[in-house]
Structure 1
Amino acid sequence: MSFSPCRIEVAKLARVGGRQRYHHTVDLTLLVRATRRMGAEDEKLVFETTEGIEPILSFDQMGLKDDLLRGIYNYGFEKPSAIQQRAVMPIINGRDVIAQAQSGTGKTSMIALTVCQVVDTASREVQALILSPTRELASQTEKVIRTIGDFMNIQAHACIGGKSVGEDIRKLENSLLQVGFVSSQVCLISATLPHEILEMTSKFMTDPIRILVKRDELTLEGIKQFFVAVEREEWKFDTLCDLYDTLTITQAVIFCNTKRKVDWLTEKMRSNNFTVSSMHGDMPQKERDAIMAEFRDGATRVLITTDVQQ
């Protein structure tokens, strides 16, 4: 089976809260990372899976293209993660799939390897078009596709705001804009799948394979989650400073719900001698790329941001 061109839509589900509360989560995971290490907790997951889906424990048993296998092993993978063991084959076989797994368990790389398997590598046009709610997620997905497909000459392109529209048109001319898409296949892959989202999938998915993780197993071992309820808005900054002084962290991401709050908090923390960087959707793409690169390289320890698609 081959798709030319192939469209990827990577969904990032946002949580909508009720009462306004101050949330503090210590998460040492970078916003953008290559998922190379699968923790031991990945093996302990209990999946609520569509009947008849058996895990495949080795990449060699999946019938993947030889050049794709080279790319997978060169990337650093030794064996499929739990979600990859269950979801790769249904996706390759053309089924609609709803798959849920924890952060850091190989969802992005699973998208990449399945795309590399199904596209027509003989085509010199764009084979994979990446559209995502956030620029950073689109860039990450494109990078992983290109890296895993390095031996296959994969033609992938991410449409990202803040960059030349002319380049997007040039990449896609005589391809997507004229040919359109072939038969549709929809795969919904996320760490969070609320009930209302699962209900909505019936409108655009056909008899999907379901691979869901029990709710109490969605948190990775080693990551502590808690929140502090703060009664008044003006008390939040002092609470954050107390947490900052109390907790020992290597790196952290502080999320704000508005771009204005990001700018305000950044200035406030810097005026109190905290070393922080910040990023949101109003910043030029080059500046955002530079800030992310510094954070990934460890040059900055604290990043203040929105969910960056705003």
Structure 2
Amino acid sequence: MTDNQKWETFLNELRAIDSGAYAPPPPPLKGDEDQEKSSPTGTQETENDISSAERSYINKLLGTKLVETKESDIELLRSDPSNPLHSVKSFKELSIDAPLLKGISAMGFYNPSKIQEKALPYLIGENCCNMIAQSQSGTGKTATFLLAMLSRVDVSLSKCQCLCMAPTRELAVQIANVGRQMAQFIEGLHIGLAVRDETPDVDADNYVKSHILIGTPGTVAAWMRGTGRFRIDRTALKMFVLDEADIMMEEDGFLHISRRIVNHLPPNCQLLLFSATYDEDVLDFAHSIIPNPVEFRVRRNQLTLTNIKQFYILSPSSDVRYARLAEIYGSFHVGQAIIFCATRREAKWLERRMTADGHKVKMLSGDLDVHERETVISQFRSADFRVLITTNLCSRGLDVPQVNLVINWRLPLNRQGAVDCETYLHRIGRSGRFGKGGLAINFAGPEDEPLLQQLENHFDITIPLLTEEALSEL
């Protein structure tokens, strides 16, 4: 098979893939005697059938802030030990033009987040480096690479100079919108989209004229190849960003596509890779495509646990759990709460039961389309309802300061049946945001006690039983 035939086969694969405030306190919960005995039984699919790309978009919807909480430390892993460490404490310390600084300020951002203060000096200025950066949603990574791209653009050259690739159309649109806000005072700068059904502004040779393009793998690869209606002039590219690299590198996802695109970049193009995780597979992939990178790792310390009181309640059945939930609501004021269930069936059952008892609750699960999810998240942020019932779909990224209670209706498990400590940390971290106090309550049956012990051993903590005395002191 010739190279052209291989590329056409590759493009056909791509086309198949790319065709994708304060509210009044709630009423007390009614006891079981007032409720029809209907509990969730049997099994039903979990959120595992939601694609990683889709889950990533939900995480971004949940975490709209560009600046992280000050509970994460940044670890620098440099390929060149002689390269001196340096950081900045304000955006003004960077070589950023006044119009871009004005745009950042207009968005309400004056000081960089942890990852921004460490990473931006290596991305902006004369000595720019390739970079591998691990950061969770909400740590400011989107702003980091957007600032870097906006700082590299020569507005007088109507060519695509910076290219960012994201796993879904929705993510690409969101990134582009943030970039346009930042660039609102930069005269003549244009940020375009390389997504399906998009018609870009092109020159006489069909080269895209947008200075910055944010796109999805299939469309980006097709435009890079340049055999269709639209083309990207690869020779003008100064920077390429691969966002959500943990998704891009999945064997059944975008790994093949991402590698092909990187291989067609000019040799002097700066490469940035951001990932939500930093396991060995991601690292191997990153090092295989990015030469001599500076590496950053967001090291979430356990201070996120110290301002959150954690308890467990022994509850062998769903009805017992609901009765205990009633006691919790009757004992102290709940601002807003998130309840994590294991399955959609369980979440739907709980939503129906709480709604029947007069509570303003809504459910967020993979059954909803993107627009419906956006609506639910927006309403929860605005405190239109008090309790969000969900699955692991929103265990990360939700920044709602009013949330002071997280309930694990069931503890999160990994595929091996052990407790998922990382997901647990992200779940309870939905309370206690920005250093505020929070409460995490874990419902557990007798069979779950080994799981609680696993959590205690992993985090070197003690999770006590929630007694009546402890409940009265909350």
The normalised TM-score by structure 2 is 0.46
Q: Quote how far apart the aligned CAs of 1:266 are.
A: 2.6
Structure with greater contact order relative to length (CA < 8 Å, sep ≥ 6): 1
Quick one: structure 1 residues 95 and 248, their matched pair in 2 at CA, closer, same or farther if it must change by over 3 Å?
A: farther
Q: 1:187 aligns with which of 273, 282, 303?
A: 273
What aligned pairs does 1:162-173 form with structure 2 within 5 A after superposition?
166=197, 169-171=198-200
Contact kept, 8 Å, 1:262 with 1:305, in 2: the verdict is yes
Query: Does residue 308 of structure 2 align to residue 224 of structure 1?
Result: yes
| Number of the residue aligned with 1:241 | 325
Q: Deviations over 1:107-154 (max 9, x none)?
A: 33223322322345453879665624694x555433322221211244
Q: 1:201 & 1:298 partners in 2: Cα distance?
A: 41
Contact kept, 8 Å, 2:68 with 2:114, in 1: the verdict is no
Q: 1:263 aligns with which of 334, 348, 363?
A: 348
Query: Does residue 78 of structure 2 align to residue 78 of structure 1?
Result: no
| Number of the residue aligned with 1:47 | 75
2:359 partner amino acid: F
Number of residue pairs the alignment of both structures matches:
269
Quick one: structure 1 residues 59 and 258, their matched pair in 2 at CA, closer, same or farther if it must change by over 3 Å?
A: same
Q: 1:227 & 1:134 partners in 2: Cα distance?
A: 40
| Number of the residue aligned with 1:31 | 62
Quick one: structure 1 residues 57 and 131, their matched pair in 2 at CA, closer, same or farther if it must change by over 3 Å?
A: same
Q: 1:241 & 1:94 partners in 2: Cα distance?
A: 54
Q: 2:191 & 2:172 partners in 1: Cα distance?
A: 15
Bigger drift between 289-298 and 67-76 goes to: 289-298
Q: 1:232 & 1:88 partners in 2: Cα distance?
A: 51
Contact kept, 8 Å, 1:130 with 1:157, in 2: the verdict is no
Contact kept, 8 Å, 1:35 with 1:109, in 2: the verdict is yes
| Number of the residue aligned with 2:179 | 145
Q: 1:206 & 1:251 partners in 2: Cα distance?
A: 46
Quick one: structure 1 residues 99 and 224, their matched pair in 2 at CA, closer, same or farther if it must change by over 3 Å?
A: farther
Q: Which has the larger radius of gyration?
A: 2
Q: 1:131 aligns with which of 155, 159, 166?
A: 166
Quick one: structure 1 residues 46 and 68, their matched pair in 2 at CA, closer, same or farther if it must change by over 3 Å?
A: closer
Query: Does residue 324 of structure 2 align to residue 293 of structure 1?
Result: no
Q: Quote how far apart the aligned CAs of 1:155 are.
A: 1.7
Q: 2:273 & 2:370 partners in 1: Cα distance?
A: 28
Quick one: structure 1 residues 148 and 270, their matched pair in 2 at CA, closer, same or farther if it must change by over 3 Å?
A: same
Quick one: structure 1 residues 148 and 290, their matched pair in 2 at CA, closer, same or farther if it must change by over 3 Å?
A: same
Q: Does the residue aligned with 2:66 lie in a helix, a strand or coil?
A: coil
Identify unmatched segments of 5+ residues in structure 1: 1-16, 18-28, 160-164
Query: Does residue 101 of structure 2 align to residue 69 of structure 1?
Result: yes
| Number of the residue aligned with 2:27 | none
Quick one: structure 1 residues 124 and 186, their matched pair in 2 at CA, closer, same or farther if it must change by over 3 Å?
A: closer
Q: CA RMSD in A?
A: 4.2
Percent pairwise identity: 26
Query: Does residue 131 of structure 2 align to residue 97 of structure 1?
Result: yes
Identify unmatched segments of 5+ residues in structure 2: 1-47, 49-59, 209-219, 238-264, 395-474
| Number of the residue aligned with 1:112 | 146
Q: 1:61 & 1:273 partners in 2: Cα distance?
A: 53
Q: Quote how far apart the aligned CAs of 1:55 are.
A: 0.9
Q: Quote how far apart the aligned CAs of 1:225 are.
A: 7.3
| Number of the residue aligned with 2:242 | none
Q: Quote how far apart the aligned CAs of 1:30 are.
A: 8.3
Q: Does the residue aligned with 2:123 lie in a helix, a strand or coil?
A: helix
Q: Quote how far apart the aligned CAs of 1:230 are.
A: 7.0
2:108 partner amino acid: G
Q: 2:105 & 2:134 partners in 1: Cα distance?
A: 24
